[in-house]
Structure 1
Amino acid sequence: MQCLKWLGLGLLLTAVGFAWAAPQVRVVGLFPGAAVLNVDGQRKLVKVGQTGPGGVVVVSADSRGAVLRVEGVERSYGLSREYSNGFAEPTRRQLSIAKGVGGHYWIAGSVNGHPVQFLVDTGATAVALNDGQARRLGIDYRVSGLPLQVNTASGTVRGWRVNLNSVKVGDLEVLGVEAVVLEGGSPTEALLGMSFLSRVGWKVEQDVLMLESKH
Structure 2
Amino acid sequence: MGKKLFTIFFTALCLTPPLAATAQQVQLKGLFGSSAMLEIDGRQRLLKSGQQSPEGVKLLEATTDYARIRIDGREQKLTLDAPVAASYQRSERAEVRLMPDSRGHYSTSGWVNGRSVSMMVDTGATSIAFNYPTARRLGLNLERAQPIRVSTANGVTQAYRLKLDSVTIGGIKLHSVDATVHTDDFPQITLLGNSFLSRVDMEQQRGVLILRARN
Q: Structure 1 residues 139 and 194 mapped into 2: Cα distance closer, same or farther (>3 Å)?
A: same
SS of 1:122's equivalent in the other structure is: coil
Over the matched positions of the two proteins, sequence identity in percent amounts to 32
SS of 2:24's equivalent in the other structure is: strand
Distance in 2 between residues matched to 1:194 and 1:28, nearest whole Å:
28
Distance in 2 between residues matched to 1:164 and 1:185, nearest whole Å:
20
SS of 2:123's equivalent in the other structure is: coil
Contact 1:108 1:117 in 2 (8 A): yes
- Aligned residue in 1 for 2:177: 177
Distance in 2 between residues matched to 1:169 and 1:178, nearest whole Å:
15
Tell me how far 1:89 sits from its aligned partner: 6.9
Distance in 1 between residues matched to 2:175 and 2:126, nearest whole Å:
17
Q: Superposed, which structure 2 residues align to 1:84-103 within 5 Å?
A: 90-103=91-104
- Aligned residue in 2 for 1:204: 204
Q: Could you tell me the TM-score, scaled by structure 2's length?
A: 0.64
Distance in 2 between residues matched to 1:29 and 1:121, nearest whole Å:
25
Q: Superposed, which structure 2 residues align to 1:130-145 within 5 Å?
A: 130-141=131-142, 143-145=143-145
Aligned residues: 159
- Aligned residue in 2 for 1:113: 114
Structure 1 residue runs without a partner (length 5+) = 1-24, 34-47, 49-56, 68-74, 82-86
Distance in 1 between residues matched to 2:160 and 2:112, nearest whole Å:
16
Distance in 2 between residues matched to 1:165 and 1:180, nearest whole Å:
14
Deviations, residues 93-146 of structure 1 (Å, cap 9, x unaligned): 1111111243211111111001101111111110000111111111121x1111
Distance in 1 between residues matched to 2:173 and 2:89, nearest whole Å:
22
Tell me how far 1:183 sits from its aligned partner: 1.1
- Aligned residue in 1 for 2:55: 76
Contact 1:130 1:188 in 2 (8 A): yes
Q: Could you tell me the TM-score, scaled by structure 1's length?
A: 0.64
Structure 2 residue runs without a partner (length 5+) = 1-21, 31-38, 58-69, 73-87
- Aligned residue in 2 for 1:147: 147
The one-letter code of the counterpart of 1:159 is A
Q: Are positions 1:59 and 2:60 aligned together?
A: no
The one-letter code of the counterpart of 2:159 is G
Aligned match for 2:28, one of 31, 44, 49: 31
- Aligned residue in 1 for 2:81: none
Q: Structure 1 residues 28 and 95 mapped into 2: Cα distance closer, same or farther (>3 Å)?
A: farther
Tell me how far 1:90 sits from its aligned partner: 3.6
SS of 1:125's equivalent in the other structure is: coil
SS of 2:167's equivalent in the other structure is: strand
SS of 1:195's equivalent in the other structure is: helix
SS of 1:108's equivalent in the other structure is: strand
Distance in 2 between residues matched to 1:178 and 1:112, nearest whole Å:
13
